[in-house]
Amino acid sequence: MKVLKLILKNALRHKLRTTLTILGISIAVIAFVLLRTVVTAWYAGVEASAANRLIVRQAVSFIFPLPYAYRDKIAAIPGVETVSWANWFQGVYIDKNQFFARLAVDAETIFNVYPEFLITQSELESFKAERNSCILGQDIAKQYNLKVGDVMTIEGDIYPGKWDFVIRGIYRPRDKTTDATQMLFHWAYVDERMRQEQPIRAGDVGWYIVKIKDPNQSALISQQIDALFKNSRAETKTETERAFQQGFVQSTSAIITSMNVLSFVIIGIILLVLGNTMIMSARERTREFAVFKTLGFSTYHLTGLIGGESLLISALGGGLGLFLAFPIIQGFESFIPKGFFPIFQVEPITVFFGVSAALLIGIIAAVFPIQKALRTSIVEGFRFVG
């Protein structure tokens, strides 16, 4: 108990320096948690991917469409359970800063291939029955205070014109990794209008979503689909949903890598801040350590005093940082459009890294001061002036 009391008194001997060190560590921990949360949010789509879904897209690029006629040929392949499709619609809702996924989909099959989108049967039937209806994700409905029966007006860009959609349902996410920020409406409605206004753009889909019976057959079925359309005017590339999502992540790999590196550079900064404090503290108490040795304090006691002080400061700074990180990240989330990061929350692994880093840094920062205190003889300690 006396050693613990000494540790506390030593840590509070220079209150301003200790306070600034704790604040510095806490700010660094907040920055670390925020960066790691952004990185995990970037990978949320990959983690939410289903093993029994394949994505069929144009082989040259995702931006090029595929013929609607491919649907029946894909459905005829053994092992295929359901074939659905979607088109990226984009458009502008309110203003260009309001970003979320707006997709023209096959109303009859889209909720069969995405069972994690939970919707009542009555809402689903209403959606299917009304050609200009739409389904919203729960988060988007909450963000814009929308409810069933409201009309959403989208100004088209890829598909020009004014588009009015009646909300006939709001889907809920089944899991915490499920994207609840999408707007889904009838592909047939968009296609019919394009046939009247721009016939050259009608009859194509953006990509196919294929639900298969056995995930272990994904590679074989992918090869069979691509073989069907080899040497056609629109060759396909079929891959698992996870691989498809990873392709998007890879396009921003430089940014993600930079964030990963920067988050761990912050750990180094914490180490330097705390290490500097501990070195200064140990240097100031060189004569005291000589007195402790004279009184019979062992190596174990001196190690406990210095290491305990370092761990105490790092634990206080890390704890404060983690405590403040949650409301700060919630505030940060409120300022970014839901569609950019559908899943934006602090993961348990991030908290684990933060706690582990704080404790590890507390230990490492004490190593040099401990070595210095143990190597300094009693005579040298009493001669020290500083």
Question: Rounded mean pLDDT of 197-205?
Answer: 74
The upper half-sphere exposure of residue 76, i.e. CA atoms within 13 Å in the direction of its Cβ, equals 6
pLDDT in tens, 94-140: 888 888 889 999 999 999 999 999 999 999 999 999 989 999 999 89
pLDDT of residue 251 exceeding 80: no
CA 343, chain centre distance (Å): 6
Which of 144-158, 257-271, 369-383 holds the top average pLDDT? 144-158
- Band (pLDDT 50/70/90 cuts) for residue 222 is very high
The helix (run of H) or strand (run of E) holding residue 248 is helix 241-250
Q: What sign does the dihedral 67-73-78-83 (CA atoms) show?
A: positive
Higher model confidence: residue 260 or residue 31?
31
Q: What sign does the dihedral 61-62-65-68 (CA atoms) show?
A: positive
With b for 16 or more beta-carbon neighbours within 10 A and e for fewer, the 254-264 pattern comes to eeeeebeeebe
Mean pLDDT of the chain: 83
pLDDT in tens, 1-19: 566 777 777 777 778 888 8
Query: Which of 215, 355, 366, 216 lies closest to 279 in space, CA to CA?
Result: 366
pLDDT in tens, 142-194: 889 999 999 999 998 888 889 999 999 999 998 877 888 899 999 999 988 88
What pLDDT score was predicted for residue 145?
A: 92
Phi first, then psi: give them for residue 235, nearest 5 degrees: -65, 155
CA 186, chain centre distance (Å): 29
What pLDDT score was predicted for residue 109?
A: 94
**Contact, 147 vs 167, CB < 8 A?**
yes
Rounded Cα gap, residues 107 and 185, in angstroms: 7
| Separation in Å, CA 185 to CA 102, 133, 136, 257, 315 | 8, 6, 9, 36, 51
Please give the structure tokens belonging to residue 11: 């840590």
What pLDDT score was predicted for residue 112?
A: 93
What string of DSSP letters covers 342-384? SS----HHHHHHHHHHHHHHHHHHHHHHHHHHHHS-HHHHHH-
Query: Which of 351, 356, 370, 369 lies closest to 270 in space, CA to CA?
Result: 356
The residue with tokens 């300022």 is: 335
Higher model confidence: residue 338 or residue 281?
281
Q: What sign does the dihedral 292-295-297-299 (CA atoms) show?
A: positive
Task: Assign 298 to helix, strand or coil.
Answer: coil
What pLDDT score was predicted for residue 336?
A: 67
Three-state secondary structure along 182-201?
EEEEEHHHHHHHHHHHCHHH
**pLDDT above 70: percentage of residues in the chain:** 90
pLDDT in tens, 45-83: 666 678 889 999 998 887 888 999 899 999 999 999 999
